[in-house]
């Protein structure tokens, strides 16, 4: 029934320890092409550590993560060469950080921020790069008139949208997001969520999004993973986990949310 | 639909077998709420089965189980996919459930869950947009179909570009119905779709349900208005029987055997 016989990302028994403390213990799941998966849990539950391990930004102490490369072969993201990891991170993957300043070059122009990955892949034609940058700025609702301005002069919401454009310009198949909407005003958050929702559907992106905000998970994710104390305590369809939570911790999490 | 047609003799679209649902509330010292116990129910293509009974008996809960919004505590929920394959929701993986919602099970919930900033036309077109992906022609077609459904449900065109957040209860309900019916699926679950509709719109919804039935859709619904239930039902099931069954399983008649003449 599905054109994809294997998952895009296969996560098996991933664990990470800091000193004597386990930050993540035995996390396992599959992510399929076009699927949005939310990892939720409170601060210190290990969700960001897990995200960084998936994206090969840190080496786990146990377990394996395989990514389905474009040639159809699953590749272990932790045992491949650093050059391969860097290529993956610049082409097939994106990583959207919570603070846009960590994911952008704050002192170079917005256009250069968007085009950096394309230039890294060898595109040199100035006119073409510029028109691609303009198209992407429009797509993330930034007036292309700002193309030569540095993100330092942008608002928080604009910076975050620019970071998204910068990540999506190479048409990645998998994007990692670490609390992309926290720290933004509620109205700005709604606009960004709507944009993310549209882009993930139009581009059929697979996304792993870490958030402590259950409303964000409800709006964006097909599936959810709930973490507590470094362990995955519950998984399932997003609305299933939120409307019929089984684990005591998930029930606590869901019942603690204020409904406006 | 006549019981002798080949469709009625085929595997039912929906077959619920000994399904129980209880909620264990860990925040309330593990209190257990048993909603129903070992329920059986079948719905065939072209049938409209109506669940009758007072509120609080678990009618909506049953629909939510079939939509996999809730998880059954035990028992099997078999759904026949459009390719003829039967899937048991109780052991289907999440990806299979997503596919079932996309292609097999339509659901009109009691309330529209509003998505901020998204226009009414886009809200209704969304089920088709999911299949369209980046195909612009398919997306334009989805918008055209959405307009057709909104017009049929009497949502004035000047509202189509607005998000439904500020709409009246009845308007939101009609948007919800349009969104669920825009894509024909073999099984349709209806949770009080006419609860806040006026007479004219109620008549339209009755027509739509009868159309779905005649197209072979299996319908399972809850209607607060007995006149609507009378107009659409091919069979009615008193849900009170579900609870009684749990306390006195052997002595009670099987809920699915209690048929009301159509």
Position B256 scores a pLDDT of: 40
Averaged pLDDT, B135-152: 95
Residue A124 tokens, joined? 């040199």
- pLDDT tens-digit profile of B38-88? 999 999 999 999 999 888 889 999 999 999 999 999 999 999 998 889 999
Local confidence band at B134 (pLDDT 50, 70, 90 cut-offs): confident
Residue A132 tokens, joined? 């691609």
3-state percent breakdown (helix, strand, coil) of chain A, nearest 5: 40, 25, 35
Local confidence band at B243 (pLDDT 50, 70, 90 cut-offs): low
Measured between CA atoms, the residue of chain A closest to residue B118 is: A194
Look-up of token digits 């009109």: B108
Please name the member of B94, B117, B129 whose beta carbon is closest to the beta carbon of A223: B94
Local confidence band at B207 (pLDDT 50, 70, 90 cut-offs): very high
Instruction: Tell me which residue of B40, B14, B47 sits closest to B233, measured CA to CA.
Output: B47
Size of interface A-B (CB pairs under 8 A): 60
- DSSP 8-state class, residue A17: E
The pTM of the whole model exceeds 0.95 = no
Alpha helices for A170-213 (secondary structure H): 186-202
Instruction: Tell me which residue of B166, B81, B159 sits closest to B124, measured CA to CA.
Output: B159
Q: How far is B207 from chain A (nearest CA, A)?
A: 31
CB-CB neighbors (< 8 A) of A246 in chain B: 24, 71
Residue B1 has pLDDT above 50, yes or no: no
CB-CB neighbors (< 8 A) of B61 in chain A: none
Cβ–Cβ below 8 Å for B68 and A223:
no
Local confidence band at A183 (pLDDT 50, 70, 90 cut-offs): confident
Residue B249 has pLDDT above 60, yes or no: no
Looking at chain B, the whole-number percentage of residues with pLDDT higher than 90 is 71
Out of A117-126, A156-165, B226-235, B241-250, pick the least confident.
B241-250
Averaged pLDDT, A231-256: 94
Residue pair B214/B184 in contact (Cβ under 8 Å)? The answer is no
Q: How far is A81 from chain B (nearest CA, A)?
A: 32
Distance (Å, rounded) from C-alpha A164 to C-alpha A162? 5
Domain boundaries of chain B, sorted by first residue: 1-104+185-262, 116-184
- Residue ranges and CATH numbers for the domains of chain A are 1-92+174-260 (3.40.50.300), 105-171 (no CATH)
Q: Which of B25, B26, B140 to mutate to test the interface with A (most CBs of A within 10 A)?
A: B26
CB-CB neighbors (< 8 A) of A244 in chain B: 23, 64, 69-71
Local confidence band at A198 (pLDDT 50, 70, 90 cut-offs): confident
What is B1-104+185-262's CATH topology? Rossmann fold (3.40.50)
Position A185 scores a pLDDT of: 82
Averaged pLDDT, A211-233: 94
Residue B156 has pLDDT above 90, yes or no: yes
Position B57 scores a pLDDT of: 85
CB < 8 Å & 24+ apart, contacts of B230-235? B231/B206, B232/B48, B232/B50, B232/B206, B233/B48, B233/B49, B233/B50, B233/B260, B233/B262, B234/B1, B234/B46, B234/B47, B234/B48, B234/B49, B234/B262, B235/B47, B235/B48, B235/B49, B235/B50, B235/B259, B235/B260, B235/B262
Residue A172 tokens, joined? 């990645």
Cβ–Cβ below 8 Å for B71 and A236:
yes
Cβ–Cβ below 8 Å for B117 and A190:
yes
What is the residue-averaged pLDDT of chain B? 87
Cβ–Cβ below 8 Å for B27 and A1:
no
Position A259 scores a pLDDT of: 64
Cβ–Cβ below 8 Å for B129 and A252:
no
Q: What angle do CA B196, B199, B205 make, to 5 degrees?
A: 75
List Cα–Cα distances, A212 to A44, B104, B215, in angstroms. 11, 32, 44
CB-CB neighbors (< 8 A) of B87 in chain A: none
Residue pair B243/B10 in contact (Cβ under 8 Å)? The answer is no
Question: Coil, strand or helix: which one is B39?
Answer: strand
Contacts of B79 (CB under 8 A, 6+ apart): B13, B14, B66, B86, B87, B89, B100, B104, B105, B187
Out of A64-73, A240-249, B131-140, pick the least confident.
B131-140
Cβ–Cβ below 8 Å for A194 and B27:
no
């Amino acid at each position: 029934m599905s054109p994809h016989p294997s998952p895009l990302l296969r996560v098996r028994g991933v664990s990470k320890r800091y000193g004597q403390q386990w930050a993540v213990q035995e996390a396992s799941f599959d992510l399929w092409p076009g699927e949005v998966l939310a990892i939720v849990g409170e601060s210190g539950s290990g969700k960001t550590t897990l995200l960084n391990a998936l994206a090969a930004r840190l080496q786990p102490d146990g377990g394996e993560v395989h990514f389905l490369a474009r040639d159809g072969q699953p590749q272990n993201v932790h045992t491949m060469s650093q050059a391969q990891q860097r290529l993956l991170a610049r082409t097939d993957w994106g990583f959207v950080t919570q603070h846009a300043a960590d994911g952008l070059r704050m002192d170079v122009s917005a256009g250069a921020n968007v085009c950096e990955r394309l230039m890294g892949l060898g595109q040199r034609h100035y006119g073409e790069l510029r028109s691609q940058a303009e198209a992407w700025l429009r797509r993330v609702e930034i007036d292309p008139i700002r193309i030569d301005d540095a993100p330092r002069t942008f608002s928080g919401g604009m910076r975050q949208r620019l970071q998204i454009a910068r990540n999506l310009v190479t048409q990645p198949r998998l994007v990692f997001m670490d609390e992309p909407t926290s720290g933004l005003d509620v109205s700005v958050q709604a606009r960004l969520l709507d944009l993310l929702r549209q882009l993930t559907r139009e581009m059929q992106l697979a996304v792993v999004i870490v958030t402590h905000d259950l409303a964000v998970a409800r709006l964006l994710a097909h599936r959810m993973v709930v973490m507590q104390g470094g362990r995955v305590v519950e998984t399932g369809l997003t609305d299933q986990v939120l409307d019929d939570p089984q684990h005591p911790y998930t029930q606590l999490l869901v019942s603690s949310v204020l409904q406006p | 639909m006549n019981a002798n047609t080949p469709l009625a003799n085929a595997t039912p679209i929906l077959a619920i077998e000994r399904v129980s649902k209880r909620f264990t509330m860990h925040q309330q010292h593990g209190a257990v709420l048993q909603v129903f116990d070992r329920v059986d129910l079948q719905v065939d293509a072209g049938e409209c089965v109506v669940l009758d009974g007072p509120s609080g008996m678990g009618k909506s809960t049953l629909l939510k189980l079939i939509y996999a919004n809730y998880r059954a505590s035990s028992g099997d929920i078999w759904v026949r996919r459009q390719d003829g394959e039967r899937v048991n929701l109780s052991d289907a993986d999440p990806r299979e459930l997503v596919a079932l919602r996309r292609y097999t099970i339509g659901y009109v919930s009691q309330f529209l869950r509003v998505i901020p900033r998204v226009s009414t036309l886009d809200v209704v077109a969304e089920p088709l947009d999911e299949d369209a992906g980046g195909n612009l022609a398919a997306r334009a077609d989805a918008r055209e179909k959405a307009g057709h459904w909104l017009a049929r449900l009497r949502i004035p065109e000047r509202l189509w570009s607005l998000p439904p957040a500020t709409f009246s209860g009845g308007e939101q309900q009609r948007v919800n119905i349009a969104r669920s019916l825009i894509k024909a699926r073999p099984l349709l679950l209806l949770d009080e779709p006419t609860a806040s509709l006026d007479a004219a719109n109620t008549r339209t919804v009755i027509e739509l349900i009868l159309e779905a039935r005649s197209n072979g859709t299996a319908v399972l619904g809850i209607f607060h208005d007995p006149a609507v239930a009378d107009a659409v039902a091919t069979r009615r099931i008193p849900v009170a029987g579900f609870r009684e069954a749990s306390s006195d399983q052997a002595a009670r008649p099987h809920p699915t055997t209690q048929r009301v003449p159509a």
